[in-house]
Structure 1
């Protein structure tokens, strides 16, 4: 009888661990009464103090986000593709920040960046945005806001006041140079600007 109870307990524990591993996240919330609760399910929006941990180790990028922002930011992360001298890119970036949307900015400058942009968005139109698996090319504020709302993002800015956006990085970061490469070889290996017949191959 005792053995059956032990086996049942182990089975329940294994099931719980599998569920946690499937979600890959653990939510720590503090209720109004100060009670701390751990769960693999996001707490209700009424709970203000929320921390999100990765089950596989390390803090999640959405750590310390409120619950109604932590969920979509984790399930449908936003990547924003831009380039210099692109007025629509500036408008799109401003809209994302004013709406409190956390995003990773990818800059498009080289042929490799353009190839990556086409792979991600299916074209060379900038700005572009991915929200989870959804792809949006070209900037229309209403369309972008609808896509973000459909992905669960709040309609008001819910970012913590101390949040800082990560620095933009190349859409296709160049590989590190060989350790023993000569200066002339390094110069020759630099990616060429994204041009075709003297004009950029992406549009905006």
Structure 2
């Protein structure tokens, strides 16, 4: 662009110099941010931030949080993470439930991130009745929506309506969490022996939680 010499005044030159200095300062700021911000903890415990790494060993770069419920897993794609946060999926199943396997296969094939709760004890069955109003399996929740029993078309319809992708978008490094019982098994509390101090009783290791063995027959009242 050619600027006529008649309009190029000293004031114009001063303005251009100021604009150039502002641009350089902006580029320096962007460069500093790109290099990282360091969190510094002083000897008095006070925390400060700087773009210059100090010689102290307690300074470390501040990185953006990835925010994942399963930090050991590869982070979910943005859209899938939004849908799963808005409409989380939970499958209630049992090892003796054939339709549960069909439902699980559908969720796995579509790459749905879901939690699985197992119903293998009478306590689990009672908790399921309070949750769903009945004891039939499989039982699926998508957000606040409850789906009782397995139907390929019905599950697909609700997953589509929630916005889940029709094909798997999970990262190859993604690993599903292991199923857990609906009712957690707690170890019984141990009482201190006569003459034993509180500190001594606390040092005694609590017995391990008993393992839950799936019954040969289905829990009372559960139907598939």
TM-score range, shorter chain: 0.5 to 0.7
Give the equivalent residue in structure 2 for 1:200: 220
1:80 aligns with 2:91: yes
| Shift, 1:178, TM fit | 1.4
Structure-1 separation of matches of 2:124 and 2:115: 15
Q: Which consecutive residues of structure 1, in runs of 5 or more, have no partner in the other structure?
A: 1-34, 36-50
Question: What residue in structure 1 maps to residue 152 of structure 2?
Answer: 141
1:120 positional shift: 2.2
* Distance in 1 of aligned mates of 2:215 and 2:128: 12
In structure 2, what is the equivalent of residue 100 of structure 1? Answer: 111
- Structure 2 match to 1:121: 132
In structure 1, C-alpha distance between the alignment counterparts of 2:65 and 2:69, rounded to whole Å: 6
Q: Which residue of 2 aligns with 1:29?
A: none
Q: 1:93 to 1:83 in 2, by over 3 A?
A: same
Instruction: Flag the 1:155–1:190 CA change in 2: closer, same or farther, 3 A.
Output: closer
8 Å Cα contact 1:92/1:139 also seen in 2: yes
Shift of 1:200: 2.9
With normalisation by structure 2, the TM-score equals 0.56
Do the aligned partners of 1:78 and 1:103 also contact (CA within 8 Å) in 2? Answer: yes
Tell whether the 8 Å contact from 2:122 to 2:220 is kept in structure 1 after alignment.
no
Aligned length: 144
Write out per-residue CA displacement over residues 153-173 of structure 1, whole angstroms, 9 at most, x where no aligned residue.
111111111111100100111
Deviation at 1:179, TM superposition (A): 2.7
Q: Corresponding residue for 1:40?
A: none
Give TM-score, length-normalised by structure 1.
Answer: 0.61
Aligned pairs for 1:175-194 within 5 A: 175-180=186-191
Over 3 Å counting, the alpha-carbon distance change for 1:135 and 1:149 in structure 2 is: same
Q: Distance in 1 between matches of 2:142 and 2:105?
A: 17
Deviations 1:136-181 (A, max 9, x none): 1100011011111111111111111111110010011122321349
**Aligned CA distance change for structure 1 residues 127 and 52 (closer, same or farther; 3 Å):** farther
Kept in 2: contact 1:78–1:131 (CA 8 A) = yes
Distance 1:83 1:142, change over 3 A: same
Question: Which residue in the other structure is 2:162 paired with?
Answer: 151
